[in-house]
Amino acid sequence: MLLNNVLCRSASAAAAATTTRRFCVTGNRSASPCQRTVFLCLPNVQRQHNLQQYLAKAFSSLNGKMVKQGPRPLVICGPSGSGKSTLLKKLFKEFPDTFGFSVSHTTRKPRPGEENGVHYHFVSVEEMQGAIEKGEFIETAVFSGNMYGTSKKAVENVQHQGKVCVLDIEIEGVKQIRNSDRLNPLLVFVNPPSIEELERRLRGRQTETEESLQKRLNTARKEIEYGTEAGNFDVVVQNNNLKQAYEDLRNFIVRELETQQGQDVFFVTSLVSNYKPFEV
């Protein structure tokens, strides 16, 4: 399973027998749920207890950085009609326990089938502006005359479950958070085959007036220009074919998550190798 942070590293190559111990990244050893669970194969020798205390102390000292950030969030962006929602549905279906969706706020009216608190938090302009003034949002944007935003609480709720937080946001929101040290997000842009195909998809929804449709298409042209510019996103997924687009998205995400797992292995292994018996 992706992000199954079960790391088994021997603290001593010479140790013949090992005992598994469970640590929470918060520094507590228990059977209760925690942000990240790390399993270590510890040498079954006299120093074992001191090593446990040392690791717990080290994890605790990182609580402010590691636990609050959690796994790197996945930001997915693209013009309306580019296929973002379809790709995310496939991703969540394949990995139901790995990803959690950050439910955004918006001032637009719900579309048929959309549920408040599930697809969006539908709020009034006054409620949205009040929350922005209180500093409750990580990013906000105005799109086609409506306000959108990602609240800090929405991201934290997902991270507290130990899952990768997925954010489906607009270009303006991406610009606000792309260099965020706190989030350190993975940025994915979904590019439609063409403006003509995008228009066909949007008309097929039958949810737009001619005026609102033209606004979306004009916005889409700007989004595609920014999204396909080198350096603005970590990867551009070209959605000419759904099967290939999902394979490209999936491969990118799996590779990145495996890299994060490898960094955790290095982190824990370094703690063990740097252990000194008199530090605790």
**Separation between Cα atoms, residue 170 and residue 156, nearest integer Å:** 20
Whether residue 216 lies in the annotated active site: yes
Q: Which of 111, 182, 200, 203 is catalytic?
A: 111
Q: Which of 182, 200, 205, 221 is catalytic?
A: 205
**Separation between Cα atoms, residue 153 and residue 138, nearest integer Å:** 9
Q: Are 117 and 102 spatial neighbours (Cβ–Cβ below 8 Å)?
A: no
Whether residue 205 lies in the annotated active site: yes
Those residues whose C-beta lies under 8 Å from the C-beta of residue 160, and which sit 6 or more positions away, are 35, 70
Question: In 3-state terms, the chain is what percent helix, strand and coil (to 5)?
Answer: 40, 20, 40
Task: Tell me which residue of 25, 34, 80 sits closest to 58, measured CA to CA.
Answer: 25
Q: Are 35 and 24 spatial neighbours (Cβ–Cβ below 8 Å)?
A: yes
Q: Are 147 and 128 spatial neighbours (Cβ–Cβ below 8 Å)?
A: yes
In the structure encoding, which two tokens stand for residue 236, read together?
């551009």
Catalytic residues: 111, 205, 216
